[in-house]
Chain A
Amino acid sequence: MRIIWLIMRKDLLRRWRSPLASLVFLAFPFVFSALIALAFGTGGEGRMPRFKVALVDEDRGFVAGLVRGAFGQERAAQFLEVTETTHEEAMQLIEHNRVAGAIVIPAGFTDAVLDRRPTELRVIRNPAEAIGPIAVEETAEFLALFLEGAASVLSGPIERIRGLTEEGSADGGAGAVPGAGTLGGAAGQISERPVVPAPADWAADERVAEIAVAVNHALRGARDYLLPPAIRLERADAPGVPVLSDTTSPAEPAAASADDDARFLSIFKYVLPGMATFALFVLAVGLTADVFRERRRGTLARQLAAPLQPQKVVVGKMLATMGVGLIVALLMALIGALFLGARANPIAFLLLCVLFLLALTGFVNLLYSFARSEQRGATLASIVMMLMAFLGGSFIPLEAMPEFVQRLAVISLNYWAIEGFQALLFSGAGVAEIARPLVVFLAVGLVSVLLGGALLRGQLARGD
């Protein structure tokens, strides 16, 4: 026991020394929830219709070009149809109820972003529409954050890009296009990163900054404390437009925005179990890969040369991963409780988390013990992880999947976790009601630990 405790404490201490690498996992559910909330918009009612939006570029600079480019990107294009107009035309379009809103890039925007001075993207909502303006605003907000993040992460490169574009615009203003490609790509990465990062570079500052920006977005309420925004989003309802819905009445702006938030948050809560499950999976895959790092650095061999049973090294490391996972799960629960008003039976929640983490770490450990190298281990684990996430309903609600997928779902650990978390969150379930997932996890956990131990012993006997 002492040995296991020592090994676990050592790993926890190491994690504690570089907490960002572990906290990154906390960000995943939020990034994805935000994306899915955007994609599904109205929360489970299916896909949103495409909204029309007017874009007014009074800046015409290189960063403004990025914003224009971003609207053309696939994800935005799925629910937004953008027309470039002048300010006046935009107001007319809103008045005639032809667009859901307008985004105005003010003059001097590019310079302000590049100099990292505060600036704003203006969103003019069409108060006659209920949902459209939210989508427009969300997009604008994402953009603001991406640009902000990109500007701080890429401040060096930006200076160079700026040099290029200024030269470029000297010979005809075409310079904004390649620049837009570059930074637009960076922004796209933030939103489209469902795959696990290579274990080696979690702690890379860029990644951390990107994730921080994404988390920042998710934690709307807390964003001012996390990263003071450089680009402010100014919201305004167009005046003098007949109002169709009370909730967005310009006369009650406070109520309107509270309602928007409520809508956004309820969507968020709906996807949270799936995302949290996926996040814990990512965490298990990532942290368990530490065994490869220990192998590479010789610390694993050194431990095996100590007077101990080799399985204890594995168990100690598993417990440490479960510990970090539990902390992340509790943080997610805390955020869910504070921001989303999520409530669950605490004992059942804890039990579900612990057993899910046991099954996860045991299972991932087993996967890795089949892999000859870190590279192959990471590939194998990512594939299995994504497969389980899709099958189990982490990304897309199971009801939306073909029937044969739904039947296969039971082989996914995510499926059981989501079933458990949803029961806790939405049906006020206690331990008895989530007995099924608990038993599944316990069984998977025990079997994989035993099997993993046997495999390890075999490998050691062969001497590799």
Chain B
Amino acid sequence: MLVVESLSRSFGSLKAVDEIGFQVKPGEIYGLLGPNGAGKTTTISCVCGLLRPDRGTIELDGVALESDPIAFKRRLGVVPQETALYGDLSARENLHFWGGLAGLTGGALRDRTTAVLEAVGLTERAGDAVRKYSGGMKRRLNLAIGMIHEPKLLLLDEPTVGIDIQARLNILDVVREVVRAGTIVLYTTHYLEEAQELCDRIGIMDHGRILAEGSLTELKRMVGEGEILTLKGRFEPGELQSIVAEDEHVRVVSLEEGQAVLDVGKGQGEVTGVLGRILRKGLAVDDISIQQPNLQGVFLKLTGRELRD
């Protein structure tokens, strides 16, 4: 079990990670979902011992990172956000090096190298210099290195950024496989669909904080069955405020000049009703979007912003 408690890390005056906490069980994928700059990489760096947190504790099966970093790291695999590989070396040589660092030797190292190469589908190109690989192949090797020593805890920092569908599906499959074997997985992403498909539990992160946490169902329940209505146009916040102020079905999520995000209560047709009332008052609306209660909706509701690539 990975237990992170009140973790904080600042860079100067910027609170990159601000009092976050979460727990991940063996065989579970915990997703940290948030836009760029949310603090995901900073969190991962703290958990793998690269950054010393200002505050907070990190424990894996009762072993605190701070008290015994080497023992902690022996059970840890990291797949960093950048593909940290040696371009001059082949995939096999990379795996031998990183596997060796992680503590594998001899036959075990060779067997595991073969196994992970197979898993990520690089067996045929294993002898080629990594420099010649495509982005997707590098990402897959990046993943293979992280899991070569069968770590108890696997940290994945946006492992599918900027690659083709094929490679992405392969990576997601491999991660599912690893979890099935009882690994603890901490997975960061800014792709909603990925979090939705892959993760057992999701922490929604923004500005260094985890705003909400739970399974997809739990998160959706938090938004209620209501829908998210986003209006854009040439209107003043005050105008809209006065229209919806008495409307019991409407909760204002965010409201600024020219853009409003409204949480419209449950019940069929509520949205159209609310929309009708607004438009009848002559509000200058140019663009309307209605968001079903999914993760996008949850994010929107929590932050007033959409999560985009």
Contact = CB atoms under 8 A, between A and B. Distances in A.
Interface of A: 2-3, 6-7, 10, 13-14, 17-18, 297-299, 301-309, 460-463
Contacts of A13: 88-89, 93
Contact of A302 (B52, B74, B80, B105): B80
Given A2-B100, A305-B76, A463 B89 contact: no
Contact of B101 (A3, A14, A298): A3
Nearest to B9: A463
A302 B74 CA distance: 13
Interface stretch (B43-51, B178-186, B205-213, B225-233): B43-51
B88 A305 contact: no
A463 B80 CA distance: 17
B103 A307 contact: yes
Given A2-B100, A301-B80, A308 B89 contact: no
Contact of A10 (B9, B71, B97): B97
Contacts of A302: 78, 80, 84, 98, 145
Given A10-B89, A13-B93, A305 B98 contact: no
A17 B89 contact: yes
Given A3-B101, A306-B73, A307-B102, A299 B86 contact: yes
Nearest to B93: A13
A13 B94 CA distance: 11
A105 to B, nearest CB: 44
B11 to A, nearest CB: 9
B82 interface: yes
Contacts of B48: 305
Nearest to A21: B88
A6 B105 CA distance: 11
Nearest to A5: B100
Contacts of B279: none
B3 interface: no
Given A13-B89, A17-B88, A307-B74, 4 more contacts: A13-B93, A298-B81, A304-B50, A307-B76
B278 interface: no
A461 B247 CA distance: 55
B89 A303 contact: no
18 contacts: A6-B97, A14-B86, A17-B89, A298-B82, A299-B85, A301-B80, A302-B78, A302-B98, A302-B145, A303-B101, A304-B50, A305-B50, A305-B80, A306-B98, A307-B71, A307-B76, A307-B102, A463-B50
- Which of B45, B101, B103 has the most CB atoms of chain A within a 10 A radius of its CB? B101
- Which of A2, A14, A305 has the most CB atoms of chain B within a 10 A radius of its CB? A305
B275 to A, nearest CB: 48
Nearest to A296: B82
B84 A301 contact: yes
B183 to A, nearest CB: 16
A13 B97 CA distance: 11
A289 to B, nearest CB: 16
Interface in B61-77: 70-71, 73-74, 76
B70 A308 contact: yes
Interface string B241-268: 0000000000000000000000000000
Given A6-B101, A10-B97, A308-B70, A18 B80 contact: no
- Which of B48, B85, B86 has the most CB atoms of chain A within a 10 A radius of its CB? B86
Contact of A305 (B49, B71, B83, B85): B49
B129 interface: yes
A461 B52 contact: yes
A2 B103 CA distance: 9
A6 B100 contact: yes
B52 A463 contact: yes
Given A17-B89, A301-B50, A306 B101 contact: yes
- 6 closest A-B pairs by beta carbon, nearest first, are A298-B84, A17-B88, A306-B101, A307-B73, A307-B74, A298-B82
Interface string B97-112: 1101111010000000
Nearest to A304: B50
Given A13-B89, A462-B52, A305 B97 contact: no
Contacts of B74: 307
Interface in B130-167: 145
B143 to A, nearest CB: 13
Contacts of A309: 70
A73 to B, nearest CB: 39
Interface in B14-71: 45, 48-52, 70-71
Contacts of B100: 2, 6
B129 A17 contact: yes
A18 B86 CA distance: 12
A298 B52 CA distance: 17
B65 to A, nearest CB: 11
A6 B89 CA distance: 14
B195 to A, nearest CB: 23
A396 to B, nearest CB: 38
A7 B101 CA distance: 8
Contacts of B97: 6, 10
A3 B100 CA distance: 8
Nearest to A464: B51
Contacts of A6: 97, 100-101
